[in-house]
Amino acid sequence: MTILNGVDIVKITRIEGLINKNKDAFLNKVFTKEEIEYIKGKNYSPQTIAGLYAAKEAISKLLGTGIGKLNFKHMEIVHNQRGKPQVLLHERGKEIAKDLNIKDIQISISHEREYAIAYAVGEASKKEEALLVPEKIKNILPKRKKDSHKGTYGRVGIIAGQEGMTGAAYLSTMAALRTGSGLVYSICPSSISHILAIKLIEAIIKPVEDKGCGHFIYDSLDEVLRIIEDMDVVALGPGIGLSSDTSGMVKEILLKYEKPLVLDADGLNCLAQIGLDLLNKRKAPTIITPHPGEFSRLIGVETKEIQKKRIEYSRQIANRYNITVVLKGTGTVVASPRGEVYVNTTGNPGMATAGSGDVLTGVIVSLLGQGIGPYESAVLAVYLHGLAGDLARDKKGEYGMVARDILEHIPDSIIALDSSGKVL
């Protein structure tokens, strides 16, 4: 919302001179019939006429035109039963106010010795903008069936977090819920489960024994595998840390979990130590979501070189390892093993904030769990994630927005996929 204002001061003796020179011509040029009747009721008081004249000048300044492009009679001052002045706009005045999205203008008229003073204030709200959602994006998300239930929309397991990194588990889990998952399980080290149990009231918390060390340990691998056995999809990596324990766990989950999986953050750093060839042994779809630095560690190419050829490297790795690659950054690239490539158009620099990637992981795994294909899930997810960031920017600005702001606007970004194409 923007506050607009206009101020004008008129010397009453100036108005007296105009009245004495040619009263009728002056009044008919400046005022409507109703205003002239009001002036007549005030016995043609110069103070009253000066006040109304100043009010019209103030309104014209608020509208940004001044008198000239705007006719005096396009602005009318009427009075309610209490005598308070109110503004009516006609013709060009109404058109300009509509263009500026001004719904209401308040006017104040006062007198100080030989002067009449008018102050106009208006609120210009941001226009509702039409969002042109690409048809291939809009058609990915299916309509929900009336006879569905929470199991219809996927059992999602998110293996994330350690001491000091509970936020990663929280953001990815909540993002999955906000994207429409029916059941989301936060699988975390037992040392942090009490924190997540408080923060994640809609998720199911699955603590895994960590022997008090605060992070996942390899000894608890079988416990993790038992938990995810019944999951439709799993996200692995946000905030789990990099150690021999986590690397060993990541390796075994990739080999033994035979359903779709999203690998992100520390999961990718673990994979960099293990080697990408492991992915060719996977028996189910895999999506990796590296930023350029993580991608550099994975494929052994300098970040600068990757940034020069983002599409080429994404497509190459997707094809070589039969995976879907989501290379994050400006114009996030999504590449499928079949050679398809999508470059995202939503998002802004304010999204370069801690936790933003964890939110994206939650969105991807949620869509994957709802039965959408890996490539299509990734494409829709990066679009929605970027749009949520754009909506957050409009409320918080690029400097002040945090990952939670993106998270909170995911439902709004999904609403925008509606055929009306309106973002509120």
Quickly list DSSP for 134-147: -HHHHTTSPPPPTT
User: 129-423: what fold?
Assistant: UDP-N-acetylmuramoyl-L-alanine:D-glutamate ligase (3.40.1190)
User: What residues does 119 pair with on adjacent strands?
Assistant: 7, 108
Average pLDDT score, the chain: 93
The predicted pLDDT at position 138 comes to: 85
Choose the CATH number for 2-124 among 3.90.470.20, 3.90.1150.10, 3.40.390.30, 3.10.110.10: 3.90.470.20
Mean pLDDT across 115-128: 82
pLDDT tens digit sequence for 247-306: 999 999 999 999 999 999 999 999 999 999 999 999 999 999 999 999 999 999 999 999
Q: Where do the domains of the chain lie?
A: 2-124, 129-423
Place 420 in a pLDDT band, splitting at 50, 70 and 90.
very low
Distance CA 310, CA 16 (A): 74
Could you tell me what percent of the chain has a pLDDT over 70? 97
Give the single-character DSSP code of 347. -
As a whole number, mean pLDDT of residues 33-59 equals 94
Residue 128 DSSP one-character state: P
Mean pLDDT of 152-158: 97
153 pLDDT above the threshold of 50: yes
Q: How far apart, in whole angstroms, are the C-alpha atoms of residue 357 and residue 376?
A: 18
Interatomic CA distance for residues 157 and 295, integer angstroms? 24
C-alpha 44 chain-centroid distance: 56
The residues near 79 (Cβ < 8 Å, ≥ 6 apart) are 38, 85, 86
C-alpha angle 5/10/14, rounded to 5°? 160
Is the torsion defined by CA of 180, 186, 192, 196 positive or negative? positive
User: DSSP 3-state assignment of 232?
Assistant: coil
The yes-or-no answer on residue 61 being catalytic is yes
Q: For the ranges 83-87, 124-128, 135-139, 201-205, which has the lowest average pLDDT?
A: 124-128
82 burial type by CB count under 10 A (0-12 exposed, 13-18 middle, 19+ buried): exposed
Q: What is the mean pLDDT of residues 113-124?
A: 90
> Which one from 11, 94, 111, 199 is the annotated catalytic residue?
111
Write down the catalytic residue from 56, 61, 291, 409.
61
Q: Is the pLDDT of residue 57 over 80?
A: yes
Q: Give yes or no for a contact between 326 and 333, defined as CB atoms under 8 angstroms apart.
A: yes
Q: What is the pLDDT of residues 212-252, one digit of tens each?
A: 999 999 999 999 999 999 999 999 999 999 999 999 999 99
For residue range 305-336, list pLDDT tens digits in order: 999 999 999 999 999 999 999 999 999 999 99
Q: Is the pTM of this model over 0.85?
A: no
Q: Let me know if 194 is a catalytic residue.
A: no
* Residue of 101, 126, 130 lying closest to 422 (CA atoms): 130
Task: In whole angstroms, give the CA distance from residue 326 to residue 318.
Answer: 9
- Supply the pLDDT for residue 129: 53
Mean pLDDT of 68-82: 90
Tokens found for residue 63: 């509208």
